[in-house]
Amino acid sequence: MKHYLLSVVTPAGGEPPSPEVLERIMRNVDGFHQELRRAGAWVFAGGLSAPATATVVRATGGDTLLTDGPYIEGKEYLGGLCIIKAPDLDAALAWGRKAAQAITLPIEVRPFEGEAED
Protein backbone atom coordinates (compact mmCIF):
# COMPACT_ATOMS: atom_id res chain seq x y z
CA MET A 1 0.00 0.00 0.00
CA LYS A 2 1.40 3.41 -0.94
CA HIS A 3 1.37 6.55 1.16
CA TYR A 4 0.02 9.76 -0.38
CA LEU A 5 0.29 13.36 0.78
CA LEU A 6 -2.89 15.42 0.59
CA SER A 7 -1.70 19.04 0.79
CA VAL A 8 -4.12 21.84 1.63
CA VAL A 9 -3.43 24.72 -0.76
CA THR A 10 -4.27 27.90 1.17
CA PRO A 11 -4.54 31.37 -0.42
CA ALA A 12 -2.08 33.90 1.02
CA GLY A 13 -3.41 37.18 2.38
CA GLY A 14 -7.05 36.20 2.20
CA GLU A 15 -9.61 36.89 4.87
CA PRO A 16 -10.18 33.91 7.17
CA PRO A 17 -13.67 32.45 7.13
CA SER A 18 -16.22 33.70 9.63
CA PRO A 19 -16.45 31.72 12.89
CA GLU A 20 -19.70 30.10 11.74
CA VAL A 21 -18.21 29.00 8.42
CA LEU A 22 -14.98 27.84 10.08
CA GLU A 23 -16.96 25.77 12.60
CA ARG A 24 -18.82 24.01 9.75
CA ILE A 25 -15.57 23.39 7.85
CA MET A 26 -13.89 21.93 10.95
CA ARG A 27 -16.87 19.60 11.53
CA ASN A 28 -16.55 18.45 7.91
CA VAL A 29 -12.80 17.95 8.29
CA ASP A 30 -13.33 15.93 11.47
CA GLY A 31 -15.89 13.78 9.62
CA PHE A 32 -13.41 13.26 6.77
CA HIS A 33 -10.70 12.19 9.24
CA GLN A 34 -13.13 9.78 10.93
CA GLU A 35 -13.99 8.27 7.54
CA LEU A 36 -10.27 7.80 6.79
CA ARG A 37 -9.84 6.01 10.15
CA ARG A 38 -12.82 3.71 9.56
CA ALA A 39 -11.45 2.82 6.10
CA GLY A 40 -7.96 2.09 7.45
CA ALA A 41 -6.49 4.85 5.25
CA TRP A 42 -5.53 7.23 8.09
CA VAL A 43 -1.83 7.85 8.79
CA PHE A 44 -1.55 11.48 9.99
CA ALA A 45 -3.12 14.91 9.50
CA GLY A 46 -2.55 18.40 10.82
CA GLY A 47 -2.89 22.09 10.12
CA LEU A 48 0.10 24.39 9.91
CA SER A 49 0.66 27.86 11.33
CA ALA A 50 0.96 30.80 8.92
CA PRO A 51 4.10 31.09 6.77
CA ALA A 52 5.27 34.09 8.81
CA THR A 53 5.95 31.67 11.70
CA ALA A 54 8.41 29.63 9.59
CA THR A 55 12.16 29.51 10.03
CA VAL A 56 14.26 28.36 7.08
CA VAL A 57 17.40 26.40 7.97
CA ARG A 58 19.98 26.51 5.18
CA ALA A 59 23.30 24.62 5.09
CA THR A 60 26.18 26.86 4.04
CA GLY A 61 29.52 25.09 3.96
CA GLY A 62 30.03 23.55 7.39
CA ASP A 63 27.54 25.89 9.09
CA THR A 64 23.83 26.62 8.99
CA LEU A 65 22.00 29.88 8.45
CA LEU A 66 18.59 30.55 10.00
CA THR A 67 16.20 32.95 8.26
CA ASP A 68 12.82 34.04 9.64
CA GLY A 69 9.70 33.71 7.53
CA PRO A 70 8.96 31.78 4.39
CA TYR A 71 11.67 31.21 1.81
CA ILE A 72 9.43 32.14 -1.12
CA GLU A 73 6.65 34.70 -1.33
CA GLY A 74 3.65 33.26 -3.10
CA LYS A 75 -0.06 33.55 -3.67
CA GLU A 76 -0.63 30.21 -1.95
CA TYR A 77 1.03 28.22 0.82
CA LEU A 78 0.85 24.82 2.48
CA GLY A 79 -1.83 25.27 5.13
CA GLY A 80 -2.15 21.69 6.28
CA LEU A 81 -1.55 18.12 5.30
CA CYS A 82 -2.90 14.63 5.56
CA ILE A 83 -0.90 11.47 4.94
CA ILE A 84 -3.02 8.53 3.85
CA LYS A 85 -2.59 4.91 2.77
CA ALA A 86 -4.20 3.96 -0.54
CA PRO A 87 -3.76 1.03 -2.92
CA ASP A 88 -3.29 3.29 -5.96
CA LEU A 89 -3.54 6.84 -7.30
CA ASP A 90 -7.23 6.50 -8.18
CA ALA A 91 -8.08 5.65 -4.57
CA ALA A 92 -5.88 8.51 -3.31
CA LEU A 93 -7.63 10.92 -5.70
CA ALA A 94 -11.00 9.78 -4.36
CA TRP A 95 -9.80 10.74 -0.86
CA GLY A 96 -8.48 14.03 -2.28
CA ARG A 97 -11.95 14.81 -3.67
CA LYS A 98 -13.49 14.17 -0.24
CA ALA A 99 -10.84 16.36 1.41
CA ALA A 100 -11.53 19.22 -1.02
CA GLN A 101 -15.26 18.98 -0.27
CA ALA A 102 -14.63 19.02 3.49
CA ILE A 103 -11.98 21.74 3.58
CA THR A 104 -13.31 23.87 0.69
CA LEU A 105 -9.74 24.57 -0.51
CA PRO A 106 -7.72 22.94 -3.30
CA ILE A 107 -5.98 19.68 -2.40
CA GLU A 108 -2.77 18.51 -4.04
CA VAL A 109 -2.43 14.70 -4.07
CA ARG A 110 1.14 13.45 -4.32
CA PRO A 111 2.58 9.94 -3.84
CA PHE A 112 5.58 9.27 -1.66
CA GLU A 113 8.48 7.48 -3.31
CA GLY A 114 8.40 3.69 -2.95
CA GLU A 115 5.90 1.57 -1.10
CA ALA A 116 4.83 2.08 2.51
CA GLU A 117 5.40 -0.51 5.22
CA ASP A 118 2.09 -1.77 6.60
**Average of per-residue pLDDT across 9-21:** 89
The C-alpha atoms of residue 93 and residue 107 are separated, in whole angstroms, by 10
**Is the pLDDT reported for residue 117 higher than 70?**
no
Domain of 89 in residue numbering reads as 2-111
Instruction: Establish if 117 belongs to a structural domain.
Output: no
pLDDT tens digits, residue range 16-73? 899 999 999 999 999 999 999 999 999 999 999 988 899 988 899 999 989 887 767 7
Instruction: Establish if 55 belongs to a structural domain.
Output: yes
Instruction: Establish if 43 belongs to a structural domain.
Output: yes
Instruction: Establish if 58 belongs to a structural domain.
Output: yes
Q: How many domains does the chain have?
A: 1
* Mean per-residue pLDDT over the chain, rounded: 92
Nearest to 104 by CA among 41, 24, 19, 14: 24
Residue 69's CATH number: 3.30.70.1060
pTM of the model: 0.88
Instruction: Establish if 44 belongs to a structural domain.
Output: yes
